[in-house]
């Protein structure tokens, strides 16, 4: 608190990102980063762009990137919006598409940035409880609303909502925007982008931070009807006309073009996930079914916070949330095989 703060700043409750400790040799399984590097072709494209052209502003419309994304998903360029990480894209979504008279709906256990954006942009919201199996039941969203947003797969549970359930929601809910946050969809989900032509109220967001291993570059995107995209462009051009730098535009476009590397690394993460789930189950953990690059697990006899602290003493960092209903759980990012082995070794010691 400072005397220079406005009442608005004083009342904000900011998001707390997973920590980025500056300690060497950590087994860092707390922020869902990809254990494999980005596409070598993306790195080469960025190296080639590291030249005197940096004196010039980037293309404010990031056309090269929008075209690469449009080609990848078989949509028109006017269906594509890009921003500085999907967190920025989501901020514009809350500001431009979800701020209406009625409260918006999202799950009670979900991405903890959603209520933060509601606070920042003055969006009222109602949280809808996950069912007893920690699943999103979209039938519970059949109520008047100013918009609906949920991650698919959900975070931090990792549980996938089937596309058929999303389509029936879209058939019922036609008067407000439905946002599907697909940050983790490439690790076993089916994208809702195939539905955007049919449902003008559907907006799908994605990020290059997880499946394309470019968290450090900060690139995210949204795909939807051109009217929704235009709303985001209006917000963006009232905020920052150049959210993506030259490196981000060429690197992200090259990452979308390199489908082979993308497929191989996603597959490797999925295989490691299935192996790790098996090992955790044999150690007595209950693991929720994950379609993401992380798993959400609890040990019936151990407190989540205590386990996280004991792992930390062994240089393994996982994420623990001090929220009702999930206090016992740990969210564990799928690492490289040797990192996952180190986690299992540490857990064997601790248990």
Ligand X SMILES: *Cc1c(COP(=O)(O)O)cnc(C)c1O
Binding site for ligand X (CB under 6 A): 85-87, 111, 151, 155, 181, 183, 207, 209, 215, 220
CB of 13 to ligand X, least distance (A): 18
- How far is 302 from 314, CA to CA, in rounded Å? 17
**Kind of pairing, strands 104-107 and 125-128?**
parallel
- Which residue's CB is nearer to ligand X, number 187 or number 261? 187
If one counts every other C-beta atom within 10 angstroms of the C-beta of residue 42, the result is: 27
Radius of gyration of the chain (CA): 20
CB of 314 to ligand X, least distance (A): 26
- Which residue's CB is nearer to ligand X, number 150 or number 199? 150
Q: Which residues of 12-37 are buried (b: 16+ CB within 10 A; e: fewer)?
A: eeeeeebeeeeeeeebbbbbbbbbee
Element (DSSP H or E) covering residue 7? helix 7-11
- How far is 91 from 94, CA to CA, in rounded Å? 5
- Which residue's CB is nearer to ligand X, number 265 or number 347? 265
Alpha carbon distances (Å) from 288 to 192, 193, 274: 22, 26, 12
- Which residue's CB is nearer to ligand X, number 87 or number 186? 87
- Which residue's CB is nearer to ligand X, number 112 or number 305? 112
Q: How far is CA 213 from the centre of its chain?
A: 12
CB of 116 to ligand X, least distance (A): 12
- Which residue's CB is nearer to ligand X, number 31 or number 279? 31
Tokens at 249, concatenated: 């535009």
């Amino acid at each position: 608190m400072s005397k220079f703060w406005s009442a608005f700043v004083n009342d904000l409750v900011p998001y707390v990102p997973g920590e980025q400790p500056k300690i060497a040799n950590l087994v860092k399984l707390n922020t869902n980063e990809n254990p494999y590097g980005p596409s070598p072709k993306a790195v080469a494209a960025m190296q080639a762009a590291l030249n005197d052209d940096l004196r010039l502003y980037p293309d404010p419309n990031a056309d090269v990137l929008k075209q690469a994304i449009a080609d990848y998903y078989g949509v028109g360029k006017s269906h594509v919006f890009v921003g500085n990480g999907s967190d920025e894209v989501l901020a514009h979504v809350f500001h431009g598409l979800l701020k209406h008279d009625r409260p918006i709906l999202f799950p009670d256990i979900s991405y903890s940035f959603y209520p933060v954006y509601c606070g920042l942009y003055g969006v009222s919201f109602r949280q809808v409880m996950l069912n007893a199996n920690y699943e999103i039941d979209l039938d519970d969203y059949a109520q008047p609303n100013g918009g609906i947003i949920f991650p698919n797969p959900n975070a931090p549970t990792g549980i996938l909502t089937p596309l058929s359930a999303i389509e029936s929601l879209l058939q019922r809910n036609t008067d407000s925007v439905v946002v599907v946050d697909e940050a983790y969809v490439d690790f076993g989900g089916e994208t809702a982008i195939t539905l955007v032509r049919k449902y003008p109220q559907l907006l799908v967001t994605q990020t290059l931070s997880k499946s394309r291993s470019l968290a450090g570059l900060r690139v995210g995107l949204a795909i939807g009807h051109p009217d929704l995209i235009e709303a985001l462009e209006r917000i963006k051009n009232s905020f920052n006309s150049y959210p993506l730098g030259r490196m981000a535009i060429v690197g992200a476009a090259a990452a979308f073009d390199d489908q082979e590397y993308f497929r191989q690394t996603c597959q490797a993460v999925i295989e490691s996930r299935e192996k790790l789930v098996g090992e955790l189950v044999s150690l007595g953990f209950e693991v929720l079914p994950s379609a993401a690059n992380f798993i959400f697990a609890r040990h019936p006899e151990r407190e989540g916070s205590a386990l996280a602290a004991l792992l930390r003493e062994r240089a393994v960092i996982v994420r623990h949330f001090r929220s009702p209903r999930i206090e016992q759980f740990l969210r564990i990012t799928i690492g490289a095989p040797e990192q996952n082995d180190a986690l299992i070794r540490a857990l064997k010691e601790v248990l």
